[in-house]
């Protein structure tokens, strides 16, 4: 891995962890606001939980792209496909 790709990966990880931290803060605020307001947990569509579901979905997609489908995975798949394409020549 060269410097530029390592720098880009670290930058993406930093952005992901910042988003994850903000998600946790906002989720905590919504959760405790609902808990103190109603005295119980009520999962309603308009109490902010819908926004958390959408935001969580985006974070999940980003995590899959960062941790599972990274450059190493892509390189391995390319090498595997290139090995499949080579055919032995019988003389």
pTM above the 0.85 mark? no
CA distance 56 to 42: 19
Give the pLDDT confidence of 9-24 residue by residue, as tens digits. 889 999 999 999 999 9
Give the pLDDT confidence of 16-54 residue by residue, as tens digits. 999 999 999 998 988 887 777 766 666 665 667 788 889
CA distance 41 to 88: 65
Give the pLDDT confidence of 55-87 residue by residue, as tens digits. 999 999 999 988 888 878 888 888 888 887 666
Instruction: Judge whether residue 88 has pLDDT over 70.
Output: no
């Amino acid at each position: 891995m060269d410097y530029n790709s390592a720098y880009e990966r670290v930058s993406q990880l930093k952005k992901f962890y910042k988003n994850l931290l903000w998600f946790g803060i906002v989720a905590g605020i919504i959760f405790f606001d609902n808990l103190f307001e109603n005295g119980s947990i009520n999962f309603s569509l308009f109490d902010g939980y819908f926004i958390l579901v959408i935001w969580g979905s985006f974070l999940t997609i980003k995590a899959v792209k960062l941790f599972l489908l990274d450059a190493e995975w892509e390189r391995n798949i390319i090498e595997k496909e290139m090995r499949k394409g080579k055919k032995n020549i019988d003389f």
